[in-house]
Amino acid sequence: MSQAESPPVRRLADWDHDRLSRLADDHGTPLYVLDVDRVKANYRRFAAAFPDAHVMYAAKAHTGQAVLSGLLEVGADIECAAAGELQRAIEAGADPDTLQYTAVNPPDSDLDYAVDLAADNPGLTITGGARDTFDRLEARGYDGRVAIRINPGIGTGHHEKVATGKDAKFGIPYDEVPDLATEVAERFDLVGIHAHAGSGVLHDDLDNHCEAIAKVAEMGRAVEDRVGGLDFVDFGGGFGVPYREDEEPLDMQVVGEKVRDAIGDLDAQTKLEPGRYVVADAELILTDVNTVKETPATTVVGVDASLATLIRPAMFDSYHPIRNVSAPDREAHPVSIGGPCCTSADVFCTDRPIARPEREELLAIGNAGAYGYELANQFHSQPRPAEVAIEDGETRVVRRRETMEDVLRVERDR
């Protein structure tokens, strides 16, 4: 897909509804539908806005093998936040020497895996966000490539739970970084500093986000003055996509200019780590209507997807667009849509105008690519859904639907 054929946002109405109906018939619901071509196009658009930067995909947004392998095909490197993500990236074909592991309070097993991996792949970079992490690495005999994660004290994004730049959990306090950098450079090969201010940044948040970026760049220059040159300064990701129909997508050329102005002169290479921007609008969920109940308060529409399928509305109060695939042109009525879980949190929308669904009709829940399947779970002993991928006009199952045998296996195979 060329840049001209790749619009800056993909709305639910842009999907082929006939094809979605066939996929639901063939594979059942709930069903994740992933457009790998869209994933690649989103990455290319982002990279084109930052031609001089090293762009790495933040795997935590979606670690599916179809996503990772597709991005590797178009030249992306992978940033991982856990040992399991390192393993999944390698399984998808990533060269371990190109990986970056950003440790957040890493368990011993994660550090053991990363250190063992680096022994044969010295290009691997391990990012530490606590003094303890560097002590634990040294105790394991590691003296290779490291980066320091800093806390800029500025958080941005769509929800307080993702505003990592001001959360004490993430990174070294800003004023402590220069002294720590001097210590770390004596013990390891200090190659960079890293920060991530938040997630889901759109135009209204961009100035605040650039303020955080400028602060990180300033620290990059200060660290270089202390310890000499760095390979990179990593500004993380955070660039959002519009979930609501009336929100405008980022103009990436404008974003690129603003980010470069915020960074200023910097000898080290700029690194950026888009995650949500690459995958959010490249995937949706198909779900069948099983119940329509009129009440004095609202019309309740029950579906077979639930917070076990997509937990973001319950966890972050997130808005996801919803469309009646079976009858998109029917008159819209306010409805509340929820799943089969026994909790009031299992609701996808409340009193939202949607082409009024009827039983056995098909709905689509949009922008499910980022932290969708990643956060799927087995609450109420619900097997996780299947996932199909569309690429180059072909469709394939990339994750089969779990069965109750899968749910019970870890208890039976003790």
Angstrom distances, CA of residue 73 to CA of 36, 37, 52, 363, 392: 11, 11, 20, 32, 13
Structure tokens given for 10:
């993909």
Of the residues 80, 210, 342, 349, which is catalytic? Answer: 342
Our answer to whether residue 80 is catalytic in this structure is: no
Residue 222, helix vs strand vs coil: helix
Which of the 8 DSSP states describes residue 161? G
Angstrom distances, CA of residue 399 to CA of 34, 56, 64, 388: 11, 24, 9, 7
Residues 410 and 414: their CA atoms lie apart, in Å, by: 7
Residue 201 contacts residue 209 (beta carbons within 8 Å)? yes
φ and ψ at residue 147, rounded to 5 degrees:
-130, 155
Residues 174 and 372: their CA atoms lie apart, in Å, by: 32
CA–chain centroid gap for 348, Å, is 20
Q: Angle at CA 143, nearest 5°, toward 138 and 147?
A: 95
Residue 325 contacts residue 363 (beta carbons within 8 Å)? yes
Structure tokens given for 17:
């509804």
Query: Which residues does 295 contact at the CB level (< 8 Å), separation at least 6?
Result: none
Residue 236 contacts residue 272 (beta carbons within 8 Å)? yes
β pairing state of 125-128 and 145-151? parallel
Structure tokens given for 284:
């949706």
Q: Which residues of 36-60 are buried (b: 16+ CB within 10 A; e: fewer)?
A: bbbbbbbbbbbbebbeebbbbbbbb
Residue 374 contacts residue 391 (beta carbons within 8 Å)? no
Structure tokens given for 268:
């080290």
Count CB-CB contacts under 10 A for residue 365: 27
Return the active site residues: 342
